Amino acid sequence: MKAWESNIRKVVPYVPGEQPNVKDMVKLNTNENPYPPAPGVQKLSSELDVDCLRLYPAPDCKSLCNELASYYNVKPEQVFVGVGSDDVISMAFLTFFNSEKPILFPDITYSFYNVWGDVYRVPYEEIPVDDNLKIIKEDYYKENGGIIFPNPNAPTGILEPLEFVEDILKNNQDVVVIVDEAYIDFGGESALKLIESYENLLVVQTFSKSRSMAGMRIGFAIGNERLIKALNDVKFSINSYTMNQYALKVGAEAVRDREYFESTVQKIIKTREEAKIKLREFGFEFPDSMSNFIFATHKKYKAKDIFEYLKTKNIFVRYFSADRINNYLRITIGTDEEMNKLYEALEEYMGI
């Protein structure tokens, strides 16, 4: 190794799900929304004026923060936006996790957390979930440098009630607790209700799932004004212009259309509940999911084999080779038509 190479920051990067571009594929591998963004977003996108690209976007992202603040009934100073919730959480790691004590998160969870821990040199401890893949809240009642967990958890889809989240907060008032609510709109109760009572709570959500805008890259955090100020101070120390002109405009438009948002979410929930029945009929087992995916295992067929077979049919689901979950498939809920194609392929595979 050359001397200069020894100074390179070494990280094992996060591996996102693949983005194949195959004609007529059924893409159920990265938890995207199968329905288009709100009609207003489509209209606005076709009318966007390229002249605005000459100018830097508003660094404080006020227009989008204001829209989110009025939707969620908080002050604009309580809202932080970023380039997807990945950007928001990454900023939050850098801002809030500066203790020598380890931060805590589940061993089976969003696999970006340990990558941010490594890249920012934040010590962390991965707390094992139980045999049913559930988070054990009491394991988080010990000294730590901060806590992060998704609710519902990913990739399990398991939702915990608000009291569970509040118990973790009650027992951890000296550190920042981040609840990653990427999937909360699919049937969960948001911890946003707790931000007035717990000034150390940061709730993170995204436009990528329930708002059908993964490609636009918009995420946000809501919490106490002091938390948001601290996040902005770090952001402005790295890159003032995180959100581009279009993202600010169409993001605000998406938030305005509450009716479309709610009807899309309801369609996905309905398809998910039908999928639970169907997948059980196929012999799959899975924890009850309150997200837009189902994390399923099969006693007779290996997850990896099913994954490979489905791929040959241009049906993409997600397979993780990680310990404890290497016999599971994470299947995103698509349209009814897409799910029917999945069921047909499973029938063929199982010879039913």
Residues near ligand PMP, by CB under 6 A: 84-86, 110, 150, 154, 180, 182, 206, 208, 214, 219
- Nearest approach in angstroms of CB 322 to ligand PMP is 14
- Nearest approach in angstroms of CB 283 to ligand PMP is 27
Tell me which residue has its CB nearest to ligand PMP: 84
Within a 13 Å sphere around the CA of 49, how many CA atoms are in the beta-carbon half? 4
- Nearest approach in angstroms of CB 332 to ligand PMP is 11
Distance of CA 248 to the CA centre of its chain: 20
| C-alpha span between 161 and 67 (Å, rounded) | 27
Q: Would you say 80 or 301 has its CB closer to ligand PMP?
A: 80
Q: Which amino acid is at 119?
A: V
Q: Are 203 and 222 in contact (CB under 8 A)?
A: yes
Q: Would you say 85 or 212 has its CB closer to ligand PMP?
A: 85
Provide the H-helix boundaries in the chain: 39-47, 62-72, 84-96, 113-119, 162-170, 225-235, 245-256, 258-281, 303-312, 336-350
Q: Would you say 252 or 346 has its CB closer to ligand PMP?
A: 252
Three-state SS for 100? coil
Q: Would you say 268 or 346 has its CB closer to ligand PMP?
A: 268
- Give how far Cα 279 sits from Cα of 53, 96, 247, 319, Å: 47, 41, 37, 17
- Nearest approach in angstroms of CB 31 to ligand PMP is 6
| C-alpha span between 162 and 184 (Å, rounded) | 11
Q: Would you say 115 or 214 has its CB closer to ligand PMP?
A: 214
- Nearest approach in angstroms of CB 8 to ligand PMP is 26
- Nearest approach in angstroms of CB 182 to ligand PMP is 4
Q: Would you say 110 or 295 has its CB closer to ligand PMP?
A: 110
Sheet holding 293-298, edge to edge: 284-285, 293-298, 328-332, 318-319
- Nearest approach in angstroms of CB 186 to ligand PMP is 12
- Nearest approach in angstroms of CB 17 to ligand PMP is 8
Q: Would you say 168 or 346 has its CB closer to ligand PMP?
A: 168
Question: 237 CB contacts (<8 Å, ≥6 apart)?
Answer: none
Question: 251 CB contacts (<8 Å, ≥6 apart)?
Answer: 64, 67, 81, 207, 213, 216, 218, 243
Q: Would you say 206 or 271 has its CB closer to ligand PMP?
A: 206
| C-alpha span between 298 and 329 (Å, rounded) | 9
- Nearest approach in angstroms of CB 219 to ligand PMP is 4
- Nearest approach in angstroms of CB 190 to ligand PMP is 14
Q: Are 107 and 128 in contact (CB under 8 A)?
A: yes
Q: Would you say 202 or 346 has its CB closer to ligand PMP?
A: 202
Q: Would you say 154 or 202 has its CB closer to ligand PMP?
A: 154
DSSP letter string, 307-334: HHHHHHTTEE-EE--STT-TTEEEEE--
Burial of residue 296 (CB within 10 Å: 0-12, 13-18, 19+) is: buried
